[in-house]
């Protein structure tokens, strides 16, 4: 009888839970998928990332108010084309511990802090994976953003002013419109709706 009571009071062993990094081509058009096929040979690409743990995928995007952290069904992020998943390892954190981490991240990652090169979904996924104890995300998912951030920093050093996202996007749009006469830099895409977390 005495041994039975001690068995009931013993803590349950932690069951390691898989953590997956889901990688998407940015957007839903064929051109980005083709570009990523070429860039993949160079070890980079233009990607969106999300982290799956306990059956939910979490990521980060721009939002004018509140947190940019959101959740969606695994491998189904709206506005992007699923490409592949990377097994990041196993976390021994419980669902309630993961929820506490996400609550902290929600406050540390406001939607207005989103920056396409430096504070994006890949940076969030990296921070979340580290908090889960599975290490950094693969460099190939972040190389293009890192190269863009380095180019923007170099531009600031050489020209003396920061390269704004708007100026960069306008320049890219102008280049694309010269190659493809059907491309309009004035077209606006409707914002994608995400589930708030």
22 is catalytic: no
Measured in residues, the chain has a length of 197
Give the tokens for residue 56. 């939910």
- Cα-Cα-Cα-Cα torsion 100, 106, 108, 113, nearest 10 degrees, comes to 170
Rounded Cα–Cα distance for residues 103 and 86 (Å): 24
Contacts of 160 (CB under 8 A, 6+ apart): none
121 is catalytic: yes
SS3 67: strand
Q: Active-site residue among 49, 72, 77, 121? A: 121
Q: Active-site residue among 22, 48, 49, 129? A: 48
Residues annotated as part of the active site: 48, 121
């Amino acid at each position: 009888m005495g041994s039975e009571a001690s068995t009931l009071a013993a803590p349950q062993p932690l069951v390691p839970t898989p953590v997956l990094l889901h990688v998407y081509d940015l957007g839903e058009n064929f051109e980005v998928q083709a570009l990523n096929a070429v860039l993949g040979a160079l070890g980079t690409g233009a990607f969106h990332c999300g982290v799956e743990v306990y059956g939910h995928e979490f990521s980060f995007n721009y939002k004018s108010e509140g947190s940019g952290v959101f959740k969606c069904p695994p491998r189904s992020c709206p506005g992007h084309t699923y490409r592949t998943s990377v097994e990041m390892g196993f976390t021994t954190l419980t669902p309630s511990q993961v929820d506490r981490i996400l609550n902290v991240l929600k406050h540390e990652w406001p939607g207005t802090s989103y920056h396409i090169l430096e504070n994006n979904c890949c940076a969030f996924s990296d921070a979340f994976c580290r908090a889960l104890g599975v290490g950094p995300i693969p460099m190939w998912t972040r190389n293009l953003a890192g190269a863009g951030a380095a180019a923007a920093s170099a531009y600031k050093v050489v020209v003396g002013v920061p390269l704004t996202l708007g100026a960069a996007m306008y320049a890219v749009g102008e280049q694309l419109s010269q190659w493809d006469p059907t491309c309009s830099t004035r077209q606006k895409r409707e914002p994608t709706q995400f589930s708030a977390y």
